[in-house]
């Protein structure tokens, strides 16, 4: 597992206490198929990993700022669902409730209890890694963030237009609450087409979430810093469409244009934002079903046919 090591001032900054699961092996996720089979599986052990900055950052470093910017200096390759990456927000947030509807899945998020990092930590890190463009885009991103309270609420027509477009393609959506100069994710939503884009089924996702307490992502994660750099650039420059590399369960990589749309609504005096990433591509369920059946075959191989001599 690759890692990046940097030195940053202020050695007393505490970052996170996150429960991680070390008992899951890549590409070998047990799926929910039979009650008695699951009862026979021992529950995976959990351990607590504490992270401190700025000592040499090890391969499990993760932290979050009050602006809800999250970084990890590892890709957590040991706990992935096939070749998919891990959604970094599901590391900083725990899933408290899941609702499966006909065409979409909703997850209620709850922030894990750890001390937030100061945004200056990220700026120092980007300088040390010579990521000057990312540093500039982060500054622009924060300028937009500080002005978010001045953004007018979306009209019903604008909301309907975004929802209608999203229903035609794979999409994922983050629901934020903005208050007191802090942003918190409340809910994460995606449709079934998004699962097909990743090449997985609902059963595969549910079992993976149960065992690892995290969610997969469609975007190829080779380096979270690079991914965030692209996000900063898209948001800070108000790009409605940008391109990202996607990697599915089988490891196939391809580039997809993503339309970014934001909806803002006010409720009980608080501002809520809905950030949509709409993947402008067609999908079908065939690959997801094939992957699911392949895993079932490994778990429950069919008996080989036997030839018997006819008894006279």
Q: pTM value?
A: 0.74
Residues 6+ apart with CB under 8 A from 59: 1, 2, 3, 73, 74
Domain boundaries, the chain: 14-297
Neighbours of 11 (CB within 10 A): 10
pLDDT score of 48? 30
Q: Answer yes or no: are the C-beta atoms of 17 and 113 closer than 8 Å.
A: yes
Q: What CA–CA distance (Å, rounded) separates 278 from 280?
A: 6
10-residue stretch averages of pLDDT, the chain, 312 residues long: 39 37 40 40 32 34 74 67 88 87 91 77 80 82 76 93 96 88 89 97 93 90 71 72 92 94 90 94 94 88 58 46
Q: Answer yes or no: are the C-beta atoms of 83 and 201 closer than 8 Å.
A: no
pLDDT score of 259? 94
């Amino acid at each position: 597992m690759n890692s990046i090591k940097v030195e940053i001032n202020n050695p007393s900054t505490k970052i996170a206490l996150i429960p991680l699961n070390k008992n899951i092996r890549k590409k070998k996720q047990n799926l929910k198929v039979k009650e008695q089979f699951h009862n026979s599986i021992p529950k995976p052990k959990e351990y607590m990993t504490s992270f401190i900055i700025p000592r040499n950052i090890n391969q499990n470093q993760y932290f979050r700022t009050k602006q809800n910017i999250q970084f990890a200096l590892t890709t957590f390759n040991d706990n992935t669902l096939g070749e998919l990456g891990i959604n970094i927000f599901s590391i900083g947030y725990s899933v408290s409730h899941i609702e499966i509807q006909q065409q979409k899945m909703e997850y209620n998020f709850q922030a894990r209890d750890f001390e937030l990092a100061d945004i200056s930590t990220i700026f120092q890190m980007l300088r040390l890694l010579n990521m000057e463009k990312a540093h500039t885009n982060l500054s622009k991103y924060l300028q937009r963030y500080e002005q978010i309270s001045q953004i007018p609420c979306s009209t019903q027509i604008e909301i309907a237009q975004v929802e209608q477009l999203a229903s035609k393609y794979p999409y994922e959506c983050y629901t934020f609450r903005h208050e007191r100069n802090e942003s918190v994710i409340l809910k994460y939503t995606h449709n079934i087409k998004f699962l097909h884009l990743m090449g997985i089924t609902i059963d595969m996702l549910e079992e993976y979430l149960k065992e690892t307490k995290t969610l997969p992502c469609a975007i190829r994660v080779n380096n979270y810093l690079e991914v965030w750099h692209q996000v900063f650039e898209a948001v800070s420059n108000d790009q409605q469409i940008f391109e990202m590399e996607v990697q599915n369960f089988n490891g196939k990589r391809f580039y997809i244009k993503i339309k970014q749309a934001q909806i803002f609504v006010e409720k009980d005096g608080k501002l809520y934002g809905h950030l949509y990433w709409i993947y402008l591509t067609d999908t079908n369920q065939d690959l997801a079903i094939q992957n699911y059946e392949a895993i079932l075959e490994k778990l429950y191989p069919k008996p080989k046919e036997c030839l018997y001599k006819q008894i006279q």
